[in-house]
Chains A and B, each alone.
Chain A
Amino acid sequence: MDDLSLGERLRQRGVSRRGFMKFCAATASMMALPPMMIPKIAAALEQAKRPSVIWLSFQECTGCTESLTRSHAPSIEGLIFDHISLDYHHTLQAASGDAAEHAREEAMQANWGEYLLVVDGSIPLGANGNYSAIAGISNLDMLKECAEGAAAIVSVGTCAAYGGLPMANPNPTDAVAVADIIDDKPIVNVPGCPPIPTVITGVLAHFLTFGRLPELDGLGRPKAFFGQSIHDRCYRRPFYERGQFAETFDDEGARKGWCLFKLGCKGPTTYNACATAKWNEGTSWPVEAGHGCIGCSEPRFWDAGSFYQALSVPFRDVGDTILAAGTAGLAVGAAAAVWNRKRKADAREKRDTITIKDLSKES
Chain B
Amino acid sequence: MDANELLAWARGPGFDIALTIFVAGMLLRLFEVMALGKKPDLSAARGSGAQGGMRTLVARTLPRKSVFDKEPLRIINGYVLHIGFFIVLFLYEPHIALFDRALGISWPGLPSGLIDAIGAITILSLIAALVFRLNNTVMRFLTTKGDWLAWAVTLLPVLTGYMAYNHLLLPYTLMLALHLLSVELLMVVAPFTKLTHMFSFATARWYQGYQAGRRGVES
Contacts and interface: CB of A to CB of B under 8 A. Distances in A.
A316 B16 contact: yes
Contact of B35 (A241, A268, A316, A334): A334
B143 interface: no
Contacts of A313: 11, 97-98, 100-102
A62 to B, nearest CB: 25
Contacts of A333: 27-32, 35
Contacts of A145: none
Interface residues of B, number: 44
Contacts of A268: 172, 176
Contacts of B5: 299-300
Contacts of B109: 243
B23 A329 contact: yes
A262 interface: yes
A88 interface: no
A243 B112 contact: yes
Contacts of B19: 314, 318, 321-322, 325
Nearest to A262: B97
Given A242-B113, A300-B5, A313-B98, A340 B32 contact: yes
A269 interface: yes
Contacts of A219: 2
Nearest to A242: B111
Contacts of B16: 314, 316, 318, 321
A12 interface: no
B24 A326 contact: yes
B31 A269 contact: no
A305 interface: yes
B11 to A, nearest CB: 5
Contact of A241 (B36, B100, B112): B112
Interface string A291-335: 000000011110111000111111111110110111011101110
Most chain-A Cβ atoms within 10 A of its Cβ — which of B19, B35, B37, B93?
A: B93
Nearest to B99: A313
B9 to A, nearest CB: 10
Given A240-B112, A329-B23, A333-B32, A310 B94 contact: yes
The B contact surface, by secondary structure, is helix
A314 B11 contact: yes
B131 interface: no
Contacts of B97: 261-262, 310, 312-313
B93 A262 contact: yes
Contact of A336 (B22, B28, B93, B100): B28
Nearest to A320: B16
A322 B110 contact: no
B168 interface: no
Nearest to B37: A341
Given A243-B111, A262-B97, A322 B35 contact: no
A309 to B, nearest CB: 7
B31 A334 contact: yes
B4 interface: yes
Given A305-B11, A314-B102, A332-B24, A243 B110 contact: yes
Nearest to A312: B94
B193 interface: no
B95 interface: yes
B59 interface: no
A61 B132 CA distance: 62
A333 B30 CA distance: 8
A311 B23 contact: no
A229 interface: yes
Contacts of A310: 94, 97-98, 101
A15 interface: no
18 contacts: A229-B172, A241-B111, A241-B112, A268-B172, A269-B4, A300-B5, A305-B12, A310-B94, A311-B94, A312-B98, A313-B101, A314-B98, A314-B101, A316-B15, A321-B20, A325-B23, A330-B31, A333-B31
Given A316-B16, A332-B24, 4 more contacts: A300-B8, A311-B94, A314-B12, A314-B98
Interface of A: 219, 229, 231-232, 240-243, 245, 261-262, 268-269, 298-301, 303-305, 309-319, 321-322, 324-326, 328-330, 332-334, 336-337, 340-341
3 nearest A-B residue pairs (beta carbon): A333-B31, A337-B35, A329-B27
Interface of B: 2, 4-5, 7-8, 11-12, 15-16, 19-32, 35-37, 93-95, 97-98, 100-102, 104, 109-113, 167, 172-173, 176
